[in-house]
Protein backbone atom coordinates (compact mmCIF):
# COMPACT_ATOMS: atom_id res chain seq x y z
CA UNK A 1 0.00 0.00 0.00
CA UNK A 2 2.81 2.41 0.87
CA UNK A 3 4.59 1.61 -2.40
CA UNK A 4 1.38 2.35 -4.32
CA UNK A 5 1.04 5.74 -2.60
CA UNK A 6 4.68 6.60 -3.32
CA UNK A 7 4.25 5.73 -7.00
CA UNK A 8 1.07 7.82 -7.24
CA UNK A 9 2.78 10.75 -5.51
CA UNK A 10 5.71 10.52 -7.91
CA UNK A 11 3.43 10.46 -10.96
CA UNK A 12 1.32 13.31 -9.57
CA UNK A 13 4.29 15.66 -9.33
CA UNK A 14 6.02 14.36 -12.47
CA UNK A 15 3.50 15.26 -15.19
CA UNK A 16 5.86 14.25 -17.99
CA UNK A 17 6.05 10.70 -16.63
CA UNK A 18 2.54 9.94 -17.92
CA UNK A 19 1.90 11.49 -21.32
CA UNK A 20 -1.63 12.81 -21.71
CA UNK A 21 -2.77 12.17 -18.17
CA UNK A 22 -2.67 13.71 -14.69
CA UNK A 23 -2.84 11.46 -11.63
CA UNK A 24 -4.88 12.34 -8.56
CA UNK A 25 -2.81 10.84 -5.76
CA UNK A 26 -5.69 10.65 -3.30
CA UNK A 27 -7.95 8.47 -5.46
CA UNK A 28 -5.54 7.09 -8.05
CA UNK A 29 -7.75 8.38 -10.87
CA UNK A 30 -6.17 9.51 -14.14
CA UNK A 31 -7.52 12.69 -15.74
CA UNK A 32 -6.73 12.91 -19.44
CA UNK A 33 -5.57 16.13 -21.05
CA UNK A 34 -4.90 17.07 -24.65
CA UNK A 35 -1.33 16.86 -25.92
CA UNK A 36 -2.02 19.87 -28.13
CA UNK A 37 -0.83 23.11 -26.55
CA UNK A 38 -3.42 25.12 -28.48
CA UNK A 39 -6.28 22.92 -27.23
CA UNK A 40 -5.08 23.36 -23.66
CA UNK A 41 -4.89 27.14 -24.12
CA UNK A 42 -8.39 27.01 -25.63
CA UNK A 43 -9.60 25.27 -22.46
CA UNK A 44 -8.31 28.19 -20.37
CA UNK A 45 -10.01 30.68 -22.71
CA UNK A 46 -13.29 28.72 -22.52
CA UNK A 47 -13.13 28.61 -18.73
CA UNK A 48 -12.54 32.37 -18.55
CA UNK A 49 -15.41 32.97 -21.00
CA UNK A 50 -17.76 30.84 -18.90
CA UNK A 51 -16.71 32.66 -15.73
CA UNK A 52 -17.21 36.11 -17.30
CA UNK A 53 -20.60 35.12 -18.75
CA UNK A 54 -21.84 33.66 -15.45
CA UNK A 55 -20.61 36.74 -13.54
CA UNK A 56 -22.44 38.96 -16.04
CA UNK A 57 -25.66 36.95 -15.62
CA UNK A 58 -25.39 37.00 -11.83
CA UNK A 59 -24.83 40.76 -11.77
CA UNK A 60 -27.80 41.49 -14.02
CA UNK A 61 -30.12 38.84 -12.54
CA UNK A 62 -31.93 41.63 -10.70
CA UNK A 63 -33.77 42.62 -13.90
CA UNK A 64 -36.08 39.65 -13.37
CA UNK A 65 -37.79 41.78 -10.72
CA UNK A 66 -38.85 44.30 -13.39
CA UNK A 67 -41.94 44.08 -15.55
CA UNK A 68 -41.48 44.04 -19.36
CA UNK A 69 -37.76 43.44 -19.02
CA UNK A 70 -35.23 42.07 -21.47
CA UNK A 71 -31.61 40.97 -21.38
CA UNK A 72 -29.00 42.34 -23.77
CA UNK A 73 -26.45 39.65 -24.68
CA UNK A 74 -23.99 41.12 -27.17
CA UNK A 75 -26.16 41.75 -30.29
CA UNK A 76 -29.20 39.82 -29.07
CA UNK A 77 -32.03 41.21 -27.00
CA UNK A 78 -33.63 38.38 -25.04
CA UNK A 79 -37.07 38.92 -23.45
CA UNK A 80 -37.25 37.70 -19.86
CA UNK A 81 -40.18 36.74 -17.65
CA UNK A 82 -41.31 38.88 -14.75
CA UNK A 83 -40.96 37.04 -11.42
CA UNK A 84 -42.90 38.82 -8.72
CA UNK A 85 -41.19 37.05 -5.81
CA UNK A 86 -37.67 37.45 -7.22
CA UNK A 87 -35.42 38.24 -4.20
CA UNK A 88 -33.01 40.62 -5.98
CA UNK A 89 -33.84 44.25 -6.67
CA UNK A 90 -32.06 46.61 -9.03
CA UNK A 91 -30.42 48.55 -6.19
CA UNK A 92 -28.81 45.36 -4.82
CA UNK A 93 -26.50 44.58 -7.74
CA UNK A 94 -23.32 45.61 -5.90
CA UNK A 95 -24.33 43.47 -2.90
CA UNK A 96 -24.87 40.45 -5.14
CA UNK A 97 -21.55 40.99 -6.91
CA UNK A 98 -19.70 41.07 -3.57
CA UNK A 99 -21.54 37.92 -2.50
CA UNK A 100 -20.58 36.22 -5.77
CA UNK A 101 -16.90 37.07 -5.31
CA UNK A 102 -17.01 35.95 -1.66
CA UNK A 103 -18.63 32.60 -2.42
CA UNK A 104 -16.05 31.91 -5.13
CA UNK A 105 -13.29 32.86 -2.71
CA UNK A 106 -14.77 30.42 -0.17
CA UNK A 107 -14.65 27.57 -2.70
CA UNK A 108 -11.08 28.44 -3.74
CA UNK A 109 -9.98 28.71 -0.11
CA UNK A 110 -11.39 25.29 0.76
CA UNK A 111 -9.66 23.73 -2.26
CA UNK A 112 -6.35 25.40 -1.31
CA UNK A 113 -6.62 24.34 2.34
CA UNK A 114 -7.37 20.76 1.30
CA UNK A 115 -4.34 20.70 -1.00
CA UNK A 116 -2.02 22.09 1.69
CA UNK A 117 -3.31 19.64 4.31
CA UNK A 118 -2.87 16.68 1.98
CA UNK A 119 0.63 17.85 1.12
CA UNK A 120 1.58 18.12 4.79
CA UNK A 121 0.04 14.75 5.60
CA UNK A 122 1.67 12.89 2.73
CA UNK A 123 4.90 14.90 2.54
CA UNK A 124 4.18 16.26 -0.93
CA UNK A 125 5.73 19.45 -2.32
CA UNK A 126 3.46 22.46 -1.61
CA UNK A 127 4.01 24.30 -4.89
CA UNK A 128 2.72 23.39 -8.34
CA UNK A 129 4.59 24.53 -11.45
CA UNK A 130 2.77 27.33 -13.25
CA UNK A 131 3.77 25.71 -16.55
CA UNK A 132 1.36 22.87 -15.70
CA UNK A 133 -1.64 25.22 -15.48
CA UNK A 134 -2.88 24.49 -19.00
CA UNK A 135 -2.62 20.74 -18.39
CA UNK A 136 -4.51 20.99 -15.13
CA UNK A 137 -7.29 23.17 -16.58
CA UNK A 138 -7.71 20.92 -19.61
CA UNK A 139 -7.75 17.75 -17.51
CA UNK A 140 -10.08 19.12 -14.81
CA UNK A 141 -12.20 21.36 -17.04
CA UNK A 142 -15.46 19.67 -16.10
CA UNK A 143 -14.66 19.88 -12.39
CA UNK A 144 -13.83 23.59 -12.62
CA UNK A 145 -17.06 24.36 -14.49
CA UNK A 146 -18.95 22.35 -11.89
CA UNK A 147 -17.45 24.51 -9.14
CA UNK A 148 -18.63 27.66 -10.93
CA UNK A 149 -22.14 26.22 -11.18
CA UNK A 150 -21.90 25.19 -7.53
CA UNK A 151 -21.13 28.80 -6.63
CA UNK A 152 -24.22 29.97 -8.56
CA UNK A 153 -26.43 27.44 -6.76
CA UNK A 154 -24.98 28.44 -3.40
CA UNK A 155 -25.43 32.17 -4.01
CA UNK A 156 -29.02 31.98 -5.21
CA UNK A 157 -29.87 29.44 -2.53
CA UNK A 158 -28.58 31.89 0.08
CA UNK A 159 -30.58 34.74 -1.44
CA UNK A 160 -33.82 32.76 -1.64
CA UNK A 161 -33.37 31.47 1.91
CA UNK A 162 -32.56 34.75 3.64
CA UNK A 163 -33.12 37.50 1.06
CA UNK A 164 -30.62 39.39 -1.07
CA UNK A 165 -30.38 42.19 1.49
CA UNK A 166 -28.97 39.83 4.12
CA UNK A 167 -26.16 38.53 1.89
CA UNK A 168 -22.78 39.59 3.29
CA UNK A 169 -19.26 38.71 2.18
CA UNK A 170 -18.81 36.64 5.35
CA UNK A 171 -21.88 34.42 5.08
CA UNK A 172 -21.35 34.03 1.32
CA UNK A 173 -17.74 32.97 1.97
CA UNK A 174 -18.91 30.41 4.55
CA UNK A 175 -21.53 29.04 2.15
CA UNK A 176 -18.91 28.59 -0.58
CA UNK A 177 -16.46 26.93 1.81
CA UNK A 178 -19.12 24.58 3.21
CA UNK A 179 -20.56 23.64 -0.20
CA UNK A 180 -17.17 22.73 -1.61
CA UNK A 181 -16.44 20.69 1.51
CA UNK A 182 -19.70 18.76 1.13
CA UNK A 183 -19.22 18.11 -2.59
CA UNK A 184 -15.62 16.99 -2.04
CA UNK A 185 -16.70 14.62 0.74
CA UNK A 186 -19.50 13.19 -1.41
CA UNK A 187 -17.23 12.90 -4.46
CA UNK A 188 -14.47 11.21 -2.46
CA UNK A 189 -16.98 8.70 -1.12
CA UNK A 190 -18.11 7.85 -4.65
CA UNK A 191 -14.50 7.50 -5.82
CA UNK A 192 -13.71 5.17 -2.94
CA UNK A 193 -16.79 3.07 -3.67
CA UNK A 194 -15.90 2.79 -7.35
CA UNK A 195 -12.32 1.88 -6.48
CA UNK A 196 -13.50 -0.82 -4.05
CA UNK A 197 -15.88 -2.19 -6.69
CA UNK A 198 -13.11 -2.26 -9.29
CA UNK A 199 -10.80 -4.17 -6.93
CA UNK A 200 -13.57 -6.68 -6.16
CA UNK A 201 -14.29 -7.23 -9.85
CA UNK A 202 -10.61 -7.77 -10.60
CA UNK A 203 -10.40 -10.37 -7.84
CA UNK A 204 -13.47 -12.17 -9.15
CA UNK A 205 -12.12 -12.20 -12.69
CA UNK A 206 -8.81 -13.56 -11.44
CA UNK A 207 -10.58 -16.34 -9.53
CA UNK A 208 -12.65 -17.23 -12.59
CA UNK A 209 -9.51 -17.47 -14.72
CA UNK A 210 -7.84 -19.77 -12.20
CA UNK A 211 -10.85 -22.08 -12.06
> Which pLDDT tens digit goes with each residue over 111-143?
888 777 766 665 655 555 566 778 878 888 888
Q: Are 55 and 100 in contact (CB under 8 A)?
A: yes
Q: Are 104 and 151 in contact (CB under 8 A)?
A: yes
Check residue 115 and give its pLDDT: 72
Per-residue pLDDT tens for 47-77? 999 999 899 888 877 766 555 565 666 666 6
Cα gap 10→18, rounded to integer Å: 11
| Mean pLDDT computed over every residue of the chain | 72
Q: Is the dihedral of CA 126, 124, 34, 198 positive or negative?
A: negative
Domain extents in the chain: 2-210
Using the predicted structure, report yes or no on whether residue 30 has a pLDDT greater than 50: yes
Amino acid sequence: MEDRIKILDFLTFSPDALSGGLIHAGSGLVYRYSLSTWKRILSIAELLAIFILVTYLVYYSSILSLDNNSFQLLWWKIPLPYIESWPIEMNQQSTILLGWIAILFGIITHAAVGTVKRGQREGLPPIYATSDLSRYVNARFGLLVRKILLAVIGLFGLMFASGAGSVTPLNAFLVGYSLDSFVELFGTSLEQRSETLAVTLRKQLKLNEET
